[in-house]
Amino acid sequence: MKGIGSISILHVVFLAMTVIGLKNHVTIMPPLLEIAKRDSWLSVLITTIIMFPWLFLLVYIHRKSNQEPLRDWLPQKIGKVGSTIVIYTIAIFLMIIVAFTMIETLQWINTTFLPKTPKLILLAIYVVLCILLVTTSLQTIVIVNVFVLLAVVVFGFFVAFTNLQVKDYDLLRPFFEHGFQPVLQGLVYPASGFSELILFLLIQHKIKDRLRWHHFAIMLLILTGLTMGPLVGAITEFGPAEASKQRYPAYEEWGLVTIGRYVEHLDFLSIYQWLTGTFIRVGFILYIVTDLLGMVGDKPRIWKMLAFPFFIICLPLMLLNEHIFLRLKGNYILTATFIFFFLLSIFLMIVAFMSGKKGKKAKNSTSDYQDTESGDT
């Protein structure tokens, strides 16, 4: 049954590169550079080391739940009412974080190359496209992701190597310029992205093989590289002071790309990177919501119960002043994302641990009863 419509570990890694990579590559950079400035790359390295033991917690939950769907496993352990509260809380939070991804992308589109196009029209078009992806299947999502990711990776290496001519790595020094405090304050931003690895536990029943600790470790290291690349690039190309003022540092790096004397203005390639990344991220996370709520394949219900509420969540965010939106995202949402997913992992760990303990007690009781019966006989 698991083989039908399921995906491989390699597909999971590719999804992590696109879904979480977009956030670490784009979303967390402005607040991280603003807080830690020159030492922001140190925040990423320290966060990677700190988050590594947390991966074993994910593996423990994955093993104890026996790769069952969360919507089936939780009711058996905490009851129907408790599981419903947890599942709907997760679903609502996932819709909120992808709404922020959607609005940030639309603001970037409106600021850079479509300043005259009403945001409402852009929002309606993009929501429809993402929901159409959600109404397909997980296999369709991963196939689309493989195709778009190839070009995204090629363009990423292209901008990195082309801009070597303007990079000054001396700008990374001195280390800990303003002490340890800014570096420690910046830890929460990369942690916000890394903590989204828990998303793959929510679709664990769709994965062919069991996830091991080294699979999570590989994804963590890849995400670290995807975060460090544009971060170090922004510091070495613009300097820490200028980079910390930029709203879209990863996009600004494309403005420096030149090939010889006559080939430049290649920043249109970043449009492909960002739009496809948002498309896959929003589509995949909304697919998780449909799976949690038991709506996979039910197109009329998805349009009615998911598309409209998601549009309504996006609408007030779109009406916010851009400065307020940035502050809300940087000061609250990114921090809240890390706290939410970390607490969710602790909660699922406790449920898994307590259920295992109860199962062991029940087994021992049965064994004692059988021994007593045999003794009486």
Higher-confidence residue of 191 and 367: namely 191
Residue 39 included in any domain? yes
Handedness of CA 351, 353, 354, 356 (dihedral sign): positive
Among the listed residues 222, 211, 208, the one whose alpha carbon sits nearest the alpha carbon of residue 59: 211
Residue 99 included in any domain? yes
Task: Tell me the C-alpha distance between 334 and 279, whole Å.
Answer: 20
- Supply the CATH number for residue 340's domain: 1.20.1740.10
Residue 44 included in any domain? yes
Residue 45 included in any domain? yes
Report how many domains make up the chain. Answer: 1
Residue 267 included in any domain? yes
**How sure is the predictor about 356, in pLDDT bands with cuts at 50, 70 and 90?**
low
pTM for the full predicted model: 0.92
SS (H, E, C) 205-260: HHECCCCCHHHHHHHHHHHHHHHHHHHHHHHHHHCHHHHHHCCCHHHHHHCCCCEC
Domain range spanning residue 259? 9-355
pLDDT digits (tens, 9 = 90+) for 61-107: 999 999 899 999 999 999 999 999 999 999 999 999 999 999 999 99
Cβ neighbours of residue 144 closer than 8 Å, sequence gap 6 or more? 133, 280
Residue 367 included in any domain? no
Q: For 263, list phi and psi in degrees, rounded to 5.
A: -105, 115
Task: Tell me the C-alpha distance between 168 and 38, whole Å.
Answer: 13
pLDDT digits (tens, 9 = 90+) for 280-300: 999 999 999 999 999 988 899
Residue 374 included in any domain? no
Among the listed residues 1, 14, 339, the one whose alpha carbon sits nearest the alpha carbon of residue 200: 14
Residue 293 included in any domain? yes
pLDDT digits (tens, 9 = 90+) for 228-274: 999 999 999 999 989 988 888 888 888 888 887 777 778 888 889 99
pLDDT digits (tens, 9 = 90+) for 28-41: 999 999 999 999 99
pLDDT attached to residue 368: 47
